[in-house]
Chain A
Amino acid sequence: MNRYTQMNTTEYLKSERSHAWREELRKSVRAADRTKRERVAMPEQLPAIRAANHLEVNLGLGVEEAVGEAVRCLDCPDPTCISGCPVGVNIPKFIKYIEGRNFGEAARTLKETNALPAVCGRVCPQEVQCESQCFYTLKLKKTPVAIGNLERFAADYERTSGNLSIPAVAPSNGVKVAVVGSGPAGLAAAGDLAKLGYGVTVFEALHEIGGVLKYGIPEFRLPNVIVDVEIDNLRRMGVCFETNFIVGKTGAFDDLRAEGFKAFFIGSGAGLPNFMNIPGENCTGVFSSNEYLTRINLMGAGRQEYDTPVLSGKNVAVIGGGNTAMDSVRTAKRLGAHRAVIVYRRSMDEMPARREEIHHAQQEGVEFMCLHNPVAYLADEKGRVKQMQLQKMELGEPDASGRRRPVPIEGSEFPVDVDTVVVSVGVSPNPLISKAIPALKVSRWGTLTVDQETMQTSVPDIFAGGDIVRGGATVILAMGDGRKAAAGIHAYLQGR
């Protein structure tokens, strides 16, 4: 439903690029003067200060900083950056609007393809997406244009300006569609379906809307208010939210069908935490990252007015190298850990977390033990973990993922004292939905099988996207899936 499907992509981009204002802007500064500029650094809280609070680390670019960074973009005739964006944001167009100080249009451009720019500007792994395909990276071997920071700037500017644009909503067509799960996939699907005139209800199992954006990603990286603004927008577009409703438990799919829902979008995420099944993993003080982060982010553990407790010690080890691991270890620091260590079985280069997160963690005093893997935990007399046994690893041949496989070094085990361990070694799809509808086709990994174009599952009125289809992936992919599925649902319902 984005503009690209209506017109050939290259032609569309070309025609946009040839608008008079763009041509004029391009001519206003010589290319050589653009590339001379250094990338504008994101202002951040000082490491020593931020490690003791939960406020956002990145403070956001100011107007002049943003305009200055936008000037670096060459508005290339063949914008390779766009090919690095999973949802094909028209990157040069929004950046040139920033250069031209038309920030509202910049935000609107982002929203043509990205339902959650304020979120994605903060959490997308730009260094392996758009920014990795920037002309500066590819040809000039220089630091890329700060596309993510500019995206965040435009979205924040629009939000704080008080002129938040509510997308036009088609007159109600009286057809009800149910969205299961309120993470980025569900929110994006709900938004597009509402725009098309459907009566959308989002069902969420938890008491809060937002999925991982709320219970997983911490406040210091993605403040809840940012997510709440998006949710409010959807409400104003007529989307209904029902919390504390587990589809398949509180009500069956058949119940909802009987209540008039004509199609379903499942964006239930990959909520089941993996454990390593090593001795001592059920000691107290050993958490999944989901539990650790949920207690703190969703339940408010550690804050005065909240009842939920969390055991967070002085000596915390986090197992894993993804974003979830970085979020957990940085949270541990903020809860007062003297020592917070990442234990990762491969090397720094293979770490899947966003570079910025790794960098920020290092600045905040997090230690990294790469090429190590726990093999057992030992408990004190009360059952609380007091020590982990680590094994050293080396890198062998590349495995199916293309990353070099970690191989244990026999006899290299040694003990390390800890009082809290957070296991962050990935998630699997929650089998709740597939159990509720046995007719749904699932893969070997428990993900739902869908048609790549329409996101339709093996049950005709059920569509799916996000982590439930991909396994643990990213916010932008989940959001893109949600939008694709909304188009799929629309075509399905019209064709009936």
Chain B
Amino acid sequence: MNKIIRKEFLSENVFRMEIEAPRIAQSRKAGHFVIVRTGEGGERIPLTIADADTRAGTITLIVQKVGCSSAKLSKLNEGDYVQDVVGPLGNATHIEKAGTVLCAGGGVGVAPLFPIVQAFKRAGNRVVTVLAARTAGLLLYEKEMKEFSDDLILVTDDGSRGRKGLVTDGMEEVILRETVHQAVVIGPAVMMKYAAMLTRKYNIPTLASLNTIMVDGTGMCGACRCSVDGKTRFVCVDGPEFDAHQVDFDEMLRRMSAYREEEETAYRNYLIHEQ
């Protein structure tokens, strides 16, 4: 059981939670995630560690309400306990001095991107960050990102803030204006697919952080498997970051929608119950 120390909504459907987990706070690095279970009958869901405070012994999670499990988590308040938190899982991002690093995040992908932006900046890189969202109200972490980015570009689908367009438009603008040595893309699978297509065109090494379905998160089940360079890899232990140009995003998209019907039914039932 892990205590929720702070909680706030960043937008209507996205919330930020600081949870007591001193050991994880101590050992986590950029790129790591945890698996969280809300309540006795809860699912195990993977969530990236957006930040940690070793002195307070807390980790920060940014969660988007997308289904039953995230909605249940969103109901918990400061002082409540999360049933289970286990981690840090996955491999830490390989941080090096590459030169100019283009970091692109879409939707809640912005949260896991934050520690990576921080780490690349601290390693002495020029970091250019592109944040994308459907509309202004859904843009996350603008202030925090600004602090660690040499340049910050905002993109919204409807043009309500920053440029109007998609994340790839923002990325291409940067690529055309300066030499990019390394790219990192995190967001919904479709976004990563198109972002990877773009950077492949310009031959820029690119990391994508995959958010597949998981159960245990320790390599025990293979629910998280994906094809990278034609080989099956387990995202939880071999990833979560892979060479974006080698990832079979179409397969990943299909696998991620495996339980769409079940999830929608469960969420609908949950919402009916909540009313």
The reply on B255 being an interface residue by CB < 8 A is: yes
Within 8 A of A (CB), among B69-83: 69, 72, 83
Please state if A291 and B222 are interface contacts (CB–CB under 8 Å): yes
Q: CA A207 – CA B85 in complex, angstroms?
A: 9
Is B271 close to A, CB under 8 A? no
| A309/B263 in contact, CB under 8 A | yes
Interface string of B245-270 (1 = CB under 8 A from A): 00000010011011100110010000
**Listed stretches B143-151, B196-204, B223-231; interface member:** B223-231
B215 within 8 A of A: yes
| B24, B44, B69, B221 interface centre (most CB from chain A within 10 Å) | B221
> Do B221 and A290 have beta carbons less than 8 Å apart?
yes
User: Of B86-94, B99-107, B170-178, which stretch is located at the interface?
Assistant: B86-94
Complex Cα–Cα for A231 and B225 (A)? 33
Asked if B258 and A207 make an inter-chain contact with CB atoms under 8 angstroms apart, the answer reads no
Separation of A285 and B258 alpha carbons in the complex (Å):
8
The reply to whether A249 and B27 form a contact with Cβ atoms under 8 Å apart is yes
Q: When the two chains form the complex, which single residue of B83, B89, B221 contacts A207, counting CB atoms closer than 8 Å?
A: B83
Indicate whether A415 reaches chain B with its CB closer than 8 angstroms: no
In the complex, chain A residues whose CB is within 8 Å of the CB of B89 = 246, 249
Are B86 and A205 within 8 A (Cβ)?
A: yes
Q: Which of B41-82 contact A (CB under 8 A)?
A: 41-44, 68-69, 72
CB-CB nearest in chain B for A382: B254
Residue on B with the closest CB to A428? Answer: B219
- In the complex, how many angstroms separate the beta carbon of A454 from the nearest chain B beta carbon? 28
User: Given A300-B41, A432-B237, A282–B251 Cβ distance below 8 Å?
Assistant: yes
A143 to B225 Cα, complex, angstroms: 46
* Interface assignment of B23: CB less than 8 Å from any CB of chain A: yes
- Contact at B222–A307, with CB atoms within 8 Å? no
A250:B86 contact, CB within 8 angstroms: yes
Query: Residues of A contacting B40 with CB < 8 Å?
Result: 305
In contact, A299 and B44 (Cβ under 8 angstroms): yes
B99 to chain A: closest CB distance in Å?
30
Does B243 touch A at the CB level, under 8 Å? no
Q: Evaluate whether A282 and B255 lie within 8 angstroms (CB atoms) in the complex, with A246-B86, A299-B44 already known.
A: yes
Residue from the set B44, B68, B84, B215 with the largest chain A CB neighbour count within 10 Å: B215
B232 touches A277 (CB 8 A): yes
Establish whether residues A281 and B232, one from each chain, have CB atoms under 8 Å apart when the complex forms: yes
How far is A206 from B35 in the complex, measured between Cα atoms in Å? 10
Indicate if B37 sits at the interface (CB-CB under 8 A): yes
Residue of A252, A255, A275, A431 near B222 (CB, 8 A) is A275
Q: Interface range on chain A: under 10, 10 to 19, 20 to 34, or 35 or more?
A: 35 or more
A288:B23 contact, CB within 8 angstroms: no
Report yes or no: B266 in contact with A309, Cβ–Cβ below 8 A. yes
Q: Is B218 an interface residue (CB 8 A)?
A: yes
Q: How far is the CB of A426 from chain B (nearest CB, A)?
A: 13
Residues of B within 8 A of A271 (CB): 218-220
Indicate if the CB atoms of A251 and B23 lie closer than 8 Å: yes
Q: A206-B216, A250-B23 are in contact. Are A305 and B221 (CB under 8 A)?
A: no
Inter-chain CA distance A282–B230, complex, in Å, is 11
Contact B219 A249 (CB under 8 A): no
In the bound complex, how far is the Cα of B224 from the Cα of A275, in angstroms?
13
**A305 in contact with B222 (CB, 8 Å):** no
In contact, B219 and A430 (Cβ under 8 angstroms): yes
Docked Cα-Cα span, A252 to B263, in Å, equals 36
Q: In the assembly, what is the distance between CA of A430 and CA of B43, in Å? A: 23
Whether B220 lies near A306 (C-beta < 8 A) is: no
Contact A244 B219 (CB under 8 A): no
Look across to chain B and name the residue whose beta carbon is closest to the beta carbon of A307. B43
Most central of B72, B216, B225, B227 by chain A CB within 10 Å: B216
B218 touching A205, Cβ below 8 Å:
yes
- Chain A residue numbers with a CB within 8 Å of B88 are 249-250
> Do the beta carbons of A299 and B43 come within 8 Å of each other?
yes
Which of B41, B87, B222, B225 has the largest count of A CB atoms less than 10 A from its CB? B222
Is B27 in contact with A251, judged by CB distance below 8 angstroms? yes
Q: How many Å from the CB of B167 to the closest CB on chain A? A: 25
Given pairs A207-B83, A299-B44, A309-B263, 19 additional interface contacts (CB within 8 A)? A205-B216, A207-B37, A245-B23, A246-B89, A249-B87, A271-B220, A282-B226, A284-B254, A290-B220, A291-B222, A295-B215, A299-B215, A300-B41, A305-B40, A311-B262, A383-B257, A383-B258, A430-B218, A430-B220
